Amino acid sequence: MIRRILVVAEREVRETVLRRAFLMVLLTPLGMLVMVLALAVALPALVTWLGPSVEPASVLEVCPPSLVEPVRAGLPEWRIETCGAVERSTLDARVTLDDDGRVHVQVRHRDDTVALVRAVDHAVLAEQLHEAGVDPTALEQASREVVAEGWREDRAELAELRGAILGTGVSVLLFLALLIAGQQVLMATLEEKGNRVIEILLGAVGPGELFVGKLAGQLVVALVFAASWGIPALLLVPLVGLWIGPVTVLEIALFLIVDLVGWMALTAGVGSLLSDLGEARQAVGRAMPLMLALVFVGWGVASFPELPMSRALGVLPPTCAFAMPVLLVSNAPPPQWQVALAMSSTLAMAAITVWFGRALFRLGLLLRSRPPDLRTLLRWLRSS
Amino acid sequence: MESVVELRGVSKRFGSTRALRGLDLDVRPGAIVGLLGPNGSGKTTLMRMLLALLLPDEGEVRVLGRSRVDEVKHRVGYLPEDRGLYKDMKVGPFLIFMGMLRGLSRGEATRRTTRWLERMELADKVREACGGLSRGQQQRIQTIAALIHEPDLLILDEPYSGLDPMLRRMLADVFLEQHRRGCTLVLSTHLMHFAEEVCDHVVMLHRGEKVVDGTLHELRAREVTGTLICEPASHGADPAPIEALPAVEELRRDGFRWRVRLRADADPSEVLAQAARAVPLVRAEVERASLEDLFVRVVREREAS
């Protein structure tokens, strides 16, 4: 029996993971990671390349020569020439003194004006003070402004923000994993029914073995998918100053596995009752609000983890399956007893959905007519 | 000897429709049993019960000595009426997968896949996707999937439907090979003349009830008519010497053949010998009712009663 389950599971993994569409899904996060890293490496060079045209070594023409030294003191990295010493086309800026004693600063690009004017102004002032017999340093000390700076305790806010970001990331990852896995199971079940290969399979294995094998195979597929998104995310998290501990990663992985098993069992059961793609789309459409509601729950819990409501959502079924992994990465992680309670609730829910999904699967596999209504379905389940 | 298939008082209902009613059936080892009957008579329901795809509302089903059929599925081959393949899966991996599901190792399943594809003239298709094959090729792949593990019991639901004569003959030969190997065959068909060629035991179903159950030999012996079919050696031969025989009531031309109706008290085998002596014949036989005639007669009798 175990061997047959493994054979079914192996086929599910091979035939799903090796499909071009799935490979694209797997490669997307890796591609994004490579892009982010490439951007991180290339960004400084890019900034330099796109940077201001007036660089430290730019040419500044200063007239008259008496201004050269003070300006050089204010702009030590500039190449400073006296009047007429350089070609006009190579000039980046020019400082001249008119007959009225006003200093003019001309620059090639307006962006450079502020820094240059400030430096020249400073230099000219120093020179004027010097000529007036005033020590510029003494004057500067005597006229030093009182600078008032605000300071606030933002570490708590930062931690909250980090928790919210991580929590939202975890809930999005869970949502995507459940969405993709559910879709895979639904389509795989529907394909077997639609191709009529299901009866050949059932001639070789029991429906229970087929169900468990399919679930095991698709679980591996879903974990490969989750790893392809989760591992790059874990690598990126420290780069932006965040951190998730290995125990927390393990706990989230456990919740993910149990969530996937329960959800996929239900999807396989529902998928077996459907006959074509149109019915499948309808079913996915009906499930989507529920899935999106889970994302909102995740976002809410991630944003306000300390609220009693968030704590309750984290331990009570059915939301605990989704909310507890989010709470685990929040800035106020729950105590261990709450984690254990949430895991027990999630396991119990998964057991119920697996039982229900298996019963539906057995009933629906050979069904050729339209899906039954809920009343008929319950009657069938009772009689089976 | 223990029956390969044993049904006792099996009934099945789908909503208000009774698919099977109190059915009893025994299939002996090495038999080729034909389940005959029109569409909706319960043949497919019965076959699905043999594989526990459906469970009876009442009664008991035992296959290869077990009432838990899932335990012996690896000894059963099944070709369902609704045939299908994974469209994107390649032929070779599909057959290896089916072999492994039936308990073969990967190596053994690979060896048998190669051998069977050669036997079915499909060796060059091993790397092609199943969905790209023609209908006849797909049917051969499905047949290999049912046989690859050399089952003790082979259940074939309408195995010849939609096939051309060449392919039908090829598959019939394959099934008979399996029978010679010791495999018991249960096949359903509504092509009664084909069942007459292949089966040695016939079960007829009508509206979920068994109306005939016996060996082909018994049924044929029971359905002897009082008519001889004679085919003269020459086209212009004169039938008068046969018409003159005392046991002959009437002779009627039927194309190249003569249909000779005998008197009620006549011994057909004796008249056959006399006719052969009277006129040179290339063929002479006692006419028997076909399975179709038998079926129609039985059903009419039941409906009348």
Confidence at residue A52, expressed as pLDDT on a 0 to 100 scale: 46
- Judge whether residue A376 has pLDDT over 80: no
The per-residue pLDDT for range B199-243, each reduced to its tens digit, is 888 888 888 888 888 887 777 777 667 788 888 888 888 888 888
Nearest CB to A195; choose among B48, B51, B86: B86
Measured between beta carbons, the chain A residues lying within 8 angstroms of B102 are 204
B256 in contact with A, Cβ within 8 Å: no
Confidence at residue B100, expressed as pLDDT on a 0 to 100 scale: 93
Confidence at residue A195, expressed as pLDDT on a 0 to 100 scale: 77
B120 in contact with A, Cβ within 8 Å: no
Confidence at residue B95, expressed as pLDDT on a 0 to 100 scale: 94
User: What backbone torsions phi and psi does residue B182 show, to the nearest 5 degrees?
Assistant: 115, 5
Dump strand ranges (E) for B173-247: 184-189, 201-206, 209-215, 224-232
Confidence at residue A158, expressed as pLDDT on a 0 to 100 scale: 62
Are A203 and B51 in contact (CB < 8 Å)? yes
> What confidence tier does B296 reach under pLDDT thresholds 50, 70, 90?
confident
Q: What is the mean pLDDT of residues A95-121?
A: 73
Confidence at residue B14, expressed as pLDDT on a 0 to 100 scale: 81
Q: Determine which of A88-92, A284-288, A354-358, B159-163 has the lowest per-residue pLDDT on average.
A: A88-92
> What confidence tier does B285 reach under pLDDT thresholds 50, 70, 90?
confident
Question: Among the residues of A240-369, which ranges form H helices?
Answer: 246-273, 277-303, 308-315, 320-328, 336-364
B146 in contact with A, Cβ within 8 Å: yes
The per-residue pLDDT for range A66-78, each reduced to its tens digit, is 777 777 777 777 7
B78 in contact with A, Cβ within 8 Å: yes
Nearest CB to B97; choose among A11, A198, A199: A11
A7 in contact with B, Cβ within 8 Å: yes
Confidence at residue A208, expressed as pLDDT on a 0 to 100 scale: 86
B265 in contact with A, Cβ within 8 Å: no
Tell me the count of A-B CB pairs closer than 8 A.
70
The β-bridge partners of B250 are B261
The per-residue pLDDT for range B6-46, each reduced to its tens digit, is 999 999 888 788 888 888 999 999 899 998 887 888 888 89
- Judge whether residue A45 has pLDDT over 80: no
Confidence at residue A380, expressed as pLDDT on a 0 to 100 scale: 64
ipTM score of complex: 0.77
A206 in contact with B, Cβ within 8 Å: yes
Chain centroid to CA A7: how far? 36
CA distance A322 to A259: 8
Shortest CA distance to B59 belongs to which of B11, B17, B18?
B11
Q: Determine which of A52-56, A340-344, B188-192 has the lowest per-residue pLDDT on average.
A: A52-56
> What confidence tier does A273 reach under pLDDT thresholds 50, 70, 90?
confident
Residue of chain B nearest A1, judged by CA positions:
B71
The per-residue pLDDT for range A116-172, each reduced to its tens digit, is 777 777 777 777 787 788 887 787 777 776 666 555 555 556 667 777 778 888 888
Q: What is the mean pLDDT of residues A326-354?
A: 88
Confidence at residue A54, expressed as pLDDT on a 0 to 100 scale: 45
> What confidence tier does B93 reach under pLDDT thresholds 50, 70, 90?
very high
> What confidence tier does A53 reach under pLDDT thresholds 50, 70, 90?
very low
Amino acid at A19: R
Measured between beta carbons, the chain A residues lying within 8 angstroms of B52 are 206
Measured between beta carbons, the chain B residues lying within 8 angstroms of A7 are 97, 100-101
Confidence at residue A351, expressed as pLDDT on a 0 to 100 scale: 93
Q: Which long-range contacts (CB under 8 A, 24 or more apart) does B208-212 make?
A: B208/B12, B208/B18, B208/B19, B208/B20, B208/B21, B208/B23, B208/B41, B208/B42, B208/B45, B209/B21, B209/B22, B209/B23, B209/B42, B210/B23, B210/B24, B210/B25, B211/B295, B211/B298, B211/B299, B211/B302, B212/B36, B212/B294, B212/B295, B212/B298
The separation between the first and the last C-alpha atoms of chain B, rounded to the nearest angstrom, is 36
| Residue length of chain B | 305
Are A204 and B78 in contact (CB < 8 Å)? yes
User: What backbone torsions phi and psi does residue B129 show, to the nearest 5 degrees?
Assistant: -70, 140
Are A15 and B146 in contact (CB < 8 Å)? no
pTM for the model: 0.71
Shortest CA distance to A384 belongs to which of A368, A354, A361?
A361
Confidence at residue B155, expressed as pLDDT on a 0 to 100 scale: 93
Closest CA–CA distance from residue B146 to any residue of chain A (Å): 8
CA distance A63 to A106: 12
Which one of A203-207, A369-373, A375-379, B264-268 scores highest in mean pLDDT? Answer: A203-207
CB B259, CB B193: distance < 8 Å:
no
Confidence at residue B116, expressed as pLDDT on a 0 to 100 scale: 93
> What confidence tier does A47 reach under pLDDT thresholds 50, 70, 90?
low
Are B51 and A196 in contact (CB < 8 Å)? no
Are A199 and B102 in contact (CB < 8 Å)? no
Closest CA–CA distance from residue B60 to any residue of chain A (Å): 16
Measured between beta carbons, the chain A residues lying within 8 angstroms of B82 are 196, 199
Measured between beta carbons, the chain A residues lying within 8 angstroms of B97 are 7, 11
B162 in contact with A, Cβ within 8 Å: no
CB B268, CB B200: distance < 8 Å:
no
On the question of a cis peptide bond just before residue A232, with omega within 30 degrees of 0, the verdict is no
Measured between beta carbons, the chain A residues lying within 8 angstroms of B141 are none
> What confidence tier does B186 reach under pLDDT thresholds 50, 70, 90?
very high
Measured between beta carbons, the chain A residues lying within 8 angstroms of B76 are 203
Chain centroid to CA A200: how far? 44
A205 in contact with B, Cβ within 8 Å: yes
- Judge whether residue B63 has pLDDT over 80: yes
Nearest CB to B87; choose among A8, A195, A198: A195
Measured between beta carbons, the chain A residues lying within 8 angstroms of B51 are 202-203
- Judge whether residue B303 has pLDDT over 90: no
**Comparison of pLDDT for B72 and A33, the residue scoring more:** B72
Confidence at residue B286, expressed as pLDDT on a 0 to 100 scale: 82
B183 in contact with A, Cβ within 8 Å: no
CA distance A230 to A235: 9
Which DSSP helix (H) or strand (E) runs through B258?
A: strand B257-262
- Judge whether residue A305 has pLDDT over 80: yes
B140 in contact with A, Cβ within 8 Å: no
> What confidence tier does B72 reach under pLDDT thresholds 50, 70, 90?
confident
User: What is the β-pairing status of strands B201-206 and B32-36?
Assistant: parallel
A179 in contact with B, Cβ within 8 Å: no
**Comparison of pLDDT for B72 and A84, the residue scoring more:** B72
Average pLDDT, chain B: 86
Closest CA–CA distance from residue B78 to any residue of chain A (Å): 6
Q: Which two tokens stand for residue B199?
A: 């089966």
A19 in contact with B, Cβ within 8 Å: yes
B52 in contact with A, Cβ within 8 Å: yes
Which one of A341-350, A370-379, B129-138 scores highest in mean pLDDT? Answer: A341-350
A127 in contact with B, Cβ within 8 Å: no
CA distance A251 to A229: 17
Average pLDDT, chain A: 78
B202 in contact with A, Cβ within 8 Å: no
CA distance A349 to B233: 83
